[in-house]
Chain A
């Protein structure tokens, strides 16, 4: 089975940094994804990690440790528009099938 855990909610101030942690226990591992989802909209792809280490894309970075079953998404220089739900998802095999965590709602305050 798949077990993916992430915090329910986080609040941060505009301009600050927030780190969203994700731990997983899955049968097989073939990549970890982070998606952003605004209320009432479909998820949009943010990052993908399949090897250990840090992937940086502008203000967003994602880290993976396969031995620890752990990932985090780092959001820097927070903007109001970053208020959204962030979903951690794991691909367990070679097909495209993903298992999603419950999502972390990030609220950015002025």
Chain B
């Protein structure tokens, strides 16, 4: 199957700093990627749909100015958590669609101190 690479896998940062997470489709081009957040023992909650060459579409309740998404190429989307706070600590997962299926990155565990 298709491979999606996500980096970093784990990050610890101080409150108030910004963190960038990268999501790459390694062997296919993805015009659309998705960003999810998952809290412990909960399911994946879609945050936004990242569209190559255009603005991301955010789900209701997700602050677009806090979670900046850039999808500048067909193989790379980035999520920047700006001015992170402890409540932003979570597991962030990206995915990309290929041949009708979604393939997930390995996830990024963010801990904000």
Contact = CB atoms under 8 A, between A and B. Distances in A.
A95 B106 CA distance: 22
B32 A42 contact: no
Residue among B6, B45, B102 facing the most chain A CB atoms (10 A cut-off): B102
Given A96-B34, A96-B97, A97-B34, A42 B46 contact: no
Contacts of A44: 104
Interface of B is mostly: strand
A97 B50 CA distance: 11
B103 A45 contact: yes
B32 A95 contact: yes
A40 interface: yes
A29 to B, nearest CB: 14
Contacts of A87: 43-44
A98 B102 contact: yes
Nearest to A98: B102
A40 B34 contact: no
A7 B111 CA distance: 29
A42 B102 contact: no
Contact of B102 (A41, A96, A105): A96
B79 interface: no
Interface string A15-29: 000000000000000
Interface string A70-110: 00000000000000000100000001111111110100000
B46 A40 contact: no
Given A40-B91, A42-B93, A45-B1, A99 B46 contact: yes
23 contacts: A31-B100, A40-B91, A40-B107, A40-B109, A41-B106, A42-B104, A42-B106, A43-B44, A43-B93, A45-B1, A45-B102, A87-B43, A96-B102, A97-B34, A98-B46, A98-B102, A99-B46, A100-B45, A101-B43, A102-B43, A103-B42, A103-B43, A105-B41
Interface of A: 31, 33, 35, 40-45, 48, 87, 95-103, 105
Top 6 nearest A-B pairs (CB, nearest first) are A96-B97, A42-B104, A102-B43, A100-B43, A42-B107, A100-B44
